[in-house]
Amino acid sequence: MDGYQSILVHLDASPRCAERLAMARRIAPAHGAATLIALLAVEPRLLPLPLRVDVEALAVPIVPQIDPEHRDFARTLFNGALASGDPAMTWAEVPGDPPVWGTAQASLYVDLMVLGQHDPEEPRTRDVPRDFVESVVMESGKPALVIPYVGRYPAVGQNVLIAWKPTRECARAVAGALPLIRRAKRVHVVSWGPDNYGPAETTFGIVRALRWHGVEASANRYPDEPSELGELLLSHAADQASDLLVMGCYGHHRIHELLLGGVTRTVLRSMTLPVLMAH
Protein backbone atom coordinates (compact mmCIF):
# COMPACT_ATOMS: atom_id res chain seq x y z
CA MET A 1 0.00 0.00 0.00
CA ASP A 2 1.62 3.27 -1.16
CA GLY A 3 -0.75 5.62 0.65
CA TYR A 4 -4.20 6.02 2.11
CA GLN A 5 -6.43 7.09 -0.75
CA SER A 6 -9.54 7.13 1.42
CA ILE A 7 -10.01 7.52 5.18
CA LEU A 8 -13.10 7.07 7.32
CA VAL A 9 -13.30 8.83 10.68
CA HIS A 10 -16.00 7.89 13.20
CA LEU A 11 -18.03 10.73 14.66
CA ASP A 12 -20.30 10.74 17.69
CA ALA A 13 -21.27 13.48 20.15
CA SER A 14 -18.14 13.36 22.30
CA PRO A 15 -15.64 16.24 22.46
CA ARG A 16 -12.90 13.81 21.42
CA CYS A 17 -14.37 13.75 17.92
CA ALA A 18 -12.41 16.91 17.30
CA GLU A 19 -9.12 15.10 17.96
CA ARG A 20 -10.07 12.18 15.71
CA LEU A 21 -11.16 14.46 12.89
CA ALA A 22 -8.01 16.57 13.22
CA MET A 23 -5.88 13.44 13.08
CA ALA A 24 -7.63 12.20 9.95
CA ARG A 25 -7.29 15.63 8.31
CA ARG A 26 -3.54 15.63 8.97
CA ILE A 27 -3.05 12.14 7.57
CA ALA A 28 -5.21 12.58 4.45
CA PRO A 29 -3.22 15.27 2.59
CA ALA A 30 0.11 13.75 3.62
CA HIS A 31 -0.88 10.53 1.88
CA GLY A 32 -2.70 11.99 -1.10
CA ALA A 33 -6.09 10.78 0.05
CA ALA A 34 -8.78 11.58 -2.47
CA THR A 35 -11.51 11.72 0.14
CA LEU A 36 -12.14 11.73 3.86
CA ILE A 37 -15.50 10.39 5.03
CA ALA A 38 -16.84 11.60 8.38
CA LEU A 39 -19.32 8.95 9.49
CA LEU A 40 -21.84 9.62 12.25
CA ALA A 41 -22.62 6.21 13.74
CA VAL A 42 -24.49 5.99 17.04
CA GLU A 43 -27.30 3.86 18.44
CA PRO A 44 -30.68 5.27 17.36
CA ARG A 45 -33.24 5.71 20.10
CA LEU A 46 -36.98 6.19 20.43
CA LEU A 47 -37.55 9.91 20.52
CA PRO A 48 -40.34 11.13 22.85
CA LEU A 49 -43.65 12.20 21.36
CA PRO A 50 -44.65 15.86 21.63
CA LEU A 51 -46.93 16.74 24.56
CA ARG A 52 -49.93 17.37 22.28
CA VAL A 53 -50.71 14.51 19.92
CA ASP A 54 -53.86 13.53 18.08
CA VAL A 55 -55.23 10.07 17.41
CA GLU A 56 -53.75 9.93 13.91
CA ALA A 57 -50.31 10.78 15.26
CA LEU A 58 -50.57 7.97 17.80
CA ALA A 59 -51.27 5.54 14.98
CA VAL A 60 -47.98 6.35 13.29
CA PRO A 61 -45.21 3.94 14.34
CA ILE A 62 -42.36 5.48 16.27
CA VAL A 63 -39.11 4.86 14.40
CA PRO A 64 -35.79 4.92 16.25
CA GLN A 65 -33.79 8.00 15.28
CA ILE A 66 -30.41 9.53 15.96
CA ASP A 67 -30.55 12.01 18.81
CA PRO A 68 -30.83 15.39 17.00
CA GLU A 69 -28.63 17.12 19.58
CA HIS A 70 -25.90 14.58 19.01
CA ARG A 71 -26.22 14.93 15.25
CA ASP A 72 -26.06 18.73 15.51
CA PHE A 73 -22.92 18.55 17.67
CA ALA A 74 -21.11 16.28 15.21
CA ARG A 75 -22.36 18.22 12.18
CA THR A 76 -21.18 21.53 13.62
CA LEU A 77 -17.74 20.05 14.18
CA PHE A 78 -17.69 18.72 10.63
CA ASN A 79 -18.87 22.01 9.10
CA GLY A 80 -16.18 23.92 10.98
CA ALA A 81 -13.48 21.61 9.65
CA LEU A 82 -14.94 21.73 6.15
CA ALA A 83 -14.89 25.52 6.12
CA SER A 84 -11.20 25.59 6.96
CA GLY A 85 -10.25 24.06 3.62
CA ASP A 86 -8.53 20.89 2.44
CA PRO A 87 -8.83 17.97 2.47
CA ALA A 88 -12.08 17.21 0.69
CA MET A 89 -14.57 15.68 3.12
CA THR A 90 -17.90 13.90 2.85
CA TRP A 91 -20.58 13.64 5.53
CA ALA A 92 -22.32 10.29 6.00
CA GLU A 93 -24.61 8.71 8.57
CA VAL A 94 -25.66 5.27 9.74
CA PRO A 95 -29.27 6.29 10.45
CA GLY A 96 -31.13 3.07 11.14
CA ASP A 97 -28.57 0.27 11.32
CA PRO A 98 -26.59 -0.70 14.41
CA PRO A 99 -23.47 1.49 14.48
CA VAL A 100 -21.03 -1.43 14.50
CA TRP A 101 -22.58 -3.05 11.43
CA GLY A 102 -22.98 0.22 9.57
CA THR A 103 -19.42 1.36 10.27
CA ALA A 104 -17.97 -2.01 9.35
CA GLN A 105 -19.87 -1.94 6.06
CA ALA A 106 -18.70 1.60 5.27
CA SER A 107 -15.11 0.66 6.10
CA LEU A 108 -15.03 -1.94 3.33
CA TYR A 109 -14.60 0.87 0.79
CA VAL A 110 -11.78 2.81 2.50
CA ASP A 111 -8.10 2.22 3.24
CA LEU A 112 -8.04 3.34 6.88
CA MET A 113 -10.44 3.96 9.74
CA VAL A 114 -9.84 6.49 12.51
CA LEU A 115 -11.70 5.46 15.66
CA GLY A 116 -11.70 6.56 19.29
CA GLN A 117 -10.99 4.64 22.49
CA HIS A 118 -14.09 4.17 24.63
CA ASP A 119 -14.27 6.65 27.50
CA PRO A 120 -16.31 5.14 30.37
CA GLU A 121 -16.66 8.56 32.02
CA GLU A 122 -18.02 10.44 28.98
CA PRO A 123 -21.84 10.60 29.09
CA ARG A 124 -22.10 11.76 25.48
CA THR A 125 -20.92 8.35 24.26
CA ARG A 126 -23.82 6.46 25.82
CA ASP A 127 -25.22 5.83 22.33
CA VAL A 128 -21.97 4.22 21.16
CA PRO A 129 -21.46 0.56 22.21
CA ARG A 130 -18.68 0.00 24.73
CA ASP A 131 -17.11 -2.60 22.44
CA PHE A 132 -17.49 -0.45 19.32
CA VAL A 133 -13.80 -0.28 18.36
CA GLU A 134 -12.96 -3.95 18.71
CA SER A 135 -16.23 -5.02 17.11
CA VAL A 136 -15.72 -2.81 14.05
CA VAL A 137 -12.09 -3.89 13.66
CA MET A 138 -12.99 -7.57 13.85
CA GLU A 139 -16.08 -7.27 11.67
CA SER A 140 -14.45 -5.26 8.90
CA GLY A 141 -10.95 -6.69 8.67
CA LYS A 142 -9.71 -3.18 7.80
CA PRO A 143 -6.90 -1.34 9.65
CA ALA A 144 -8.01 1.12 12.30
CA LEU A 145 -6.05 3.92 13.91
CA VAL A 146 -7.45 4.17 17.43
CA ILE A 147 -6.98 7.47 19.28
CA PRO A 148 -6.90 7.51 23.12
CA TYR A 149 -9.63 9.44 24.92
CA VAL A 150 -7.04 11.65 26.62
CA GLY A 151 -4.08 13.60 25.28
CA ARG A 152 -3.18 15.43 22.09
CA TYR A 153 -1.30 13.81 19.25
CA PRO A 154 -0.11 16.39 16.71
CA ALA A 155 2.27 13.92 15.06
CA VAL A 156 1.77 10.19 14.71
CA GLY A 157 4.11 7.73 13.04
CA GLN A 158 7.50 9.36 13.58
CA ASN A 159 8.61 6.73 16.10
CA VAL A 160 6.79 3.45 15.51
CA LEU A 161 6.73 0.39 17.73
CA ILE A 162 5.55 -2.84 16.07
CA ALA A 163 4.36 -5.66 18.31
CA TRP A 164 5.08 -8.61 16.07
CA LYS A 165 3.82 -12.18 16.14
CA PRO A 166 3.81 -14.37 13.01
CA THR A 167 0.01 -14.33 12.68
CA ARG A 168 -2.59 -13.11 10.20
CA GLU A 169 -3.68 -10.31 12.54
CA CYS A 170 -0.19 -8.85 12.90
CA ALA A 171 0.52 -9.19 9.18
CA ARG A 172 -2.66 -7.26 8.38
CA ALA A 173 -1.82 -4.57 10.93
CA VAL A 174 1.69 -4.06 9.50
CA ALA A 175 0.35 -4.00 5.94
CA GLY A 176 -2.27 -1.44 6.94
CA ALA A 177 0.34 0.70 8.70
CA LEU A 178 2.90 0.67 5.86
CA PRO A 179 2.08 4.17 4.57
CA LEU A 180 2.91 5.50 8.05
CA ILE A 181 5.82 3.14 8.68
CA ARG A 182 7.54 4.19 5.43
CA ARG A 183 7.57 7.81 6.61
CA ALA A 184 8.76 7.04 10.14
CA LYS A 185 12.10 8.28 11.44
CA ARG A 186 12.46 5.23 13.65
CA VAL A 187 10.84 1.79 13.56
CA HIS A 188 11.39 -0.79 16.28
CA VAL A 189 10.00 -4.32 16.36
CA VAL A 190 9.45 -6.23 19.55
CA SER A 191 8.51 -9.90 19.57
CA TRP A 192 8.20 -12.84 21.92
CA GLY A 193 8.71 -16.48 21.04
CA PRO A 194 10.21 -18.09 17.91
CA ASP A 195 9.98 -16.74 14.38
CA ASN A 196 10.49 -19.63 12.00
CA TYR A 197 11.03 -17.35 9.02
CA GLY A 198 14.03 -15.49 10.38
CA PRO A 199 17.27 -15.89 8.39
CA ALA A 200 19.39 -15.62 11.55
CA GLU A 201 19.05 -15.26 15.29
CA THR A 202 19.68 -11.51 15.14
CA THR A 203 17.22 -10.76 12.33
CA PHE A 204 13.81 -12.29 11.87
CA GLY A 205 11.24 -12.38 9.08
CA ILE A 206 9.38 -9.14 9.70
CA VAL A 207 12.60 -7.08 9.72
CA ARG A 208 13.54 -8.56 6.36
CA ALA A 209 10.02 -7.96 5.02
CA LEU A 210 10.14 -4.31 6.10
CA ARG A 211 13.49 -3.91 4.38
CA TRP A 212 11.82 -4.97 1.13
CA HIS A 213 9.69 -1.85 1.55
CA GLY A 214 12.69 0.38 2.19
CA VAL A 215 12.23 0.41 5.97
CA GLU A 216 15.21 -0.26 8.24
CA ALA A 217 13.95 -1.45 11.60
CA SER A 218 15.70 -2.39 14.80
CA ALA A 219 14.36 -5.37 16.71
CA ASN A 220 14.30 -7.22 20.00
CA ARG A 221 13.04 -10.75 20.36
CA TYR A 222 12.45 -12.39 23.71
CA PRO A 223 12.08 -16.15 24.26
CA ASP A 224 8.87 -16.37 26.29
CA GLU A 225 5.66 -14.33 26.11
CA PRO A 226 4.89 -12.81 29.52
CA SER A 227 1.46 -13.06 31.10
CA GLU A 228 1.11 -9.26 31.29
CA LEU A 229 2.11 -8.58 27.69
CA GLY A 230 -0.34 -5.71 27.20
CA GLU A 231 1.13 -3.72 30.06
CA LEU A 232 4.64 -4.55 28.87
CA LEU A 233 3.91 -3.29 25.36
CA LEU A 234 2.64 0.03 26.68
CA SER A 235 5.71 0.25 28.92
CA HIS A 236 7.98 -0.39 25.92
CA ALA A 237 6.18 2.34 23.99
CA ALA A 238 6.65 4.81 26.84
CA ASP A 239 10.32 3.94 27.34
CA GLN A 240 11.06 4.49 23.66
CA ALA A 241 8.86 7.60 23.33
CA SER A 242 6.91 5.85 20.59
CA ASP A 243 4.04 7.81 19.05
CA LEU A 244 2.38 4.83 17.35
CA LEU A 245 1.91 1.19 18.31
CA VAL A 246 1.12 -1.31 15.53
CA MET A 247 -0.41 -4.61 16.62
CA GLY A 248 -2.90 -7.31 15.76
CA CYS A 249 -6.39 -7.35 17.24
CA TYR A 250 -7.24 -10.80 18.57
CA GLY A 251 -10.58 -12.25 19.51
CA HIS A 252 -13.60 -14.11 18.20
CA HIS A 253 -17.38 -14.06 18.38
CA ARG A 254 -19.11 -16.68 20.46
CA ILE A 255 -22.93 -16.57 20.77
CA HIS A 256 -23.06 -12.79 20.24
CA GLU A 257 -20.44 -12.17 22.91
CA LEU A 258 -17.15 -10.60 21.89
CA LEU A 259 -14.23 -12.34 23.53
CA LEU A 260 -10.94 -10.50 23.24
CA GLY A 261 -7.42 -11.69 23.72
CA GLY A 262 -5.85 -10.37 26.91
CA VAL A 263 -3.32 -8.17 25.13
CA THR A 264 -5.96 -6.53 22.92
CA ARG A 265 -8.25 -5.93 25.88
CA THR A 266 -5.48 -4.40 27.98
CA VAL A 267 -4.23 -2.06 25.26
CA LEU A 268 -7.73 -0.86 24.33
CA ARG A 269 -8.49 -0.19 28.00
CA SER A 270 -5.18 1.42 29.01
CA MET A 271 -3.71 2.80 25.78
CA THR A 272 -1.44 5.81 26.19
CA LEU A 273 -0.67 6.42 22.52
CA PRO A 274 -2.44 5.93 19.18
CA VAL A 275 -2.64 2.28 18.15
CA LEU A 276 -3.05 0.95 14.63
CA MET A 277 -4.61 -2.49 14.71
CA ALA A 278 -6.23 -4.99 12.39
CA HIS A 279 -7.90 -8.36 12.67
pLDDT, tens digit, 9 for 90 and up, residues 11-47 = 999 999 999 999 999 999 999 888 899 999 999 876 5
Q: How far is CA 22 from CA 78, 82, 103, 156, in A?
A: 10, 11, 19, 12
Q: What is the pLDDT of residue 166?
A: 86
Q: What is the pLDDT of residue 112?
A: 97
Q: What is the pLDDT of residues 41-97, one digit of tens each?
A: 999 876 555 555 554 555 555 556 788 999 999 999 999 999 888 788 999 998 777
pLDDT at residue 136 above 90? Answer: yes
For residues 196 and 218, the model is more confident at 218
pLDDT at residue 207 above 70? Answer: yes
pLDDT at residue 200 above 90? Answer: no
Q: What is the pLDDT of residue 162?
A: 97
Cα gap 161→155, rounded to integer Å: 14
* Least confident interval from 13-27, 134-148, 217-231: 217-231
Q: What is the pLDDT of residue 165?
A: 87
pLDDT at residue 260 above 60? Answer: no
The secondary structure of 106-166 as a DSSP string is: HHTTSSEEEEE---TT-GGGTTS-TTHHHHHHHHH---EEEEPSSS--S--SSEEEEEE-S
Q: What is the pLDDT of residue 46?
A: 60
pLDDT category, 198, cuts 50, 70, 90? low
What count of other Cβ atoms lies within 10 Å of the Cβ of residue 235? 12
Measured in whole angstroms, the distance separating CA 50 from the mean position of its chain's CA atoms is 39
Return the percentage of the chain with pLDDT > 70, whole number.
85
Cα gap 85→272, rounded to integer Å: 30
What are φ and ψ of residue 165, in 5° steps? -145, 135
